[in-house]
Amino acid sequence: MRVRLGRSRGLVAAVAALMMSASAAVIGSAPAAAQPGCPGTYALAIPGTWETGQSGPSQPGMLSGVVNTLRANGVRADYVSYAATAFPWEGETYGASKNQAVAAANLMIQTMALQCPSTNFALVGYSQGADAAGDVAAGIGTGAGVVAPDKLVAVGLLSDPRRAESDTLVGPPVQGSGVGGARPGGFGWVSPVVRTFCVTGDLYCSTPEDDYVSRMAGFLAIRSDPSPTPELVAVYQREAVEIWNEIAAAGGVGFLQQETTDPEVAARRDQLEQFYESGVHHDYASYVVDGSGDTATQWVAQYILSKS
């Protein structure tokens, strides 16, 4: 009996040791967010055209208020550096510059996700930066991104050239959609966390649906990357077909020619001149979007904080 009791005690001790070892293993695999240097939320801000460069922003841009507010409240917020150009003589076409921003943002997200698996992400972009931020969000939302959709908790797009009428708009209603046309497939699973902002009269994000000349120009500008990936080529082809089908339904080549007659061209030139002179594209820091008096940039900052 003593031998059996000794064996029983030995077995109990062995089981207890195994349980303690298993508990230690569970404790040792605590969420990465508890590790030093891992933020609960990591916010990426993608500036607009000419607001940044390869070495980062050289001066405060539209998103500086958002970034400063987030940092002051303990949220890790970084700018995405990219060419931020629009014309070939500047070094990169708009399409190549935007795709560079998308790639840079995805790399930053992926790097943080590998280091800190429990960290969530937020995106904010302005103008060309909104175009890029929206593409990153759409990739994540449709399962083609670098993190799972539930890791992206907030997205704010200011003057998104690819705004769709179905996107959740904060502020007064505006007509039409972005000059580059809506993203095929939208934002997928992250649609509930995406918010878009468009100042009344900002043609970059509110081009009338029947202004096919501007839409074609926007399409060509946004997709002006001279070396797109095969995946992007497929997307571009599909979008081109969609625009052409709309033109065909409206009257085809004859309708498009009518839109480019001298009186029509003059009217559109006057409209564009008024738009550029108005400066509304640069009003997001003062554009009030709710009854509390919050501007677009203030609203975005508070929105990201509420999700952090």
88-112: average pLDDT: 87
In this model, does residue 220 exceed pLDDT 50? Answer: no
What is the pLDDT at residue 24?
A: 37
For residue 288, the 8-state DSSP code is B
Cα 20 to Cα 118: distance, rounded to the nearest angstrom: 26
In this model, does residue 119 exceed pLDDT 90? Answer: yes
pLDDT in tens, 7-33: 444 433 443 443 334 333 333 333 334
Helix (H), strand (E) at residue 43: strand 41-46
213-238: average pLDDT: 53
pLDDT confidence bin for 207, thresholds 50/70/90 = confident
What is the pTM (predicted TM-score) of this model? 0.72
What is the pLDDT at residue 190?
A: 98
Burial of 258 (0-12, 13-18, 19+ CB in 10 A): exposed
**31-35, 90-94, 128-132, 241-245 — which one is most confidently predicted on average?**
128-132
Cα 50 to Cα 75: distance, rounded to the nearest angstrom: 26
- Check residues 6 and 200 and name the one with the higher pLDDT: 200
What are the DSSP calls for 158-216, one per residue?
A: ES-TT--TTS-B-SS--SSB-TT-PPTTTTGGGGGGEEEE--TT-TTT-B-TT-HHHHH
- Check residues 263 and 254 and name the one with the higher pLDDT: 263
Instruction: For the chain, list the domains and their CATH numbers.
Output: 34-307 (3.40.50.1820)
What is the pLDDT at residue 11?
A: 37
Contact 144, 121 (CB under 8 A): no
Residue 225's SS3 state is coil
Give 157's strand partners.
125, 196
What is the pLDDT at residue 253?
A: 45
In this model, does residue 282 exceed pLDDT 50? Answer: yes
- Check residues 233 and 77 and name the one with the higher pLDDT: 77
Contact 130, 296 (CB under 8 A): no
pLDDT confidence bin for 224, thresholds 50/70/90 = very low
pLDDT confidence bin for 261, thresholds 50/70/90 = low
Residue 58's SS3 state is coil
For residue 239, the 8-state DSSP code is H
- Measured N-to-C along each axis, helices 212-222 and 230-250 cross at an angle, to the nearest 10 degrees, of 170
pLDDT confidence bin for 189, thresholds 50/70/90 = very high
**174-178, 239-243, 294-298 — which one is most confidently predicted on average?**
294-298
- Asked which of 33-47, 205-219, 240-254 is least confident by mean pLDDT, the reply is 240-254
% the chain with pLDDT above 70: 63
102-131: average pLDDT: 97
- Write the CB contacts of 195 (distance below 8 Å, at least 6 apart in sequence): 154, 155, 156, 157, 168, 169, 170, 299, 300, 303
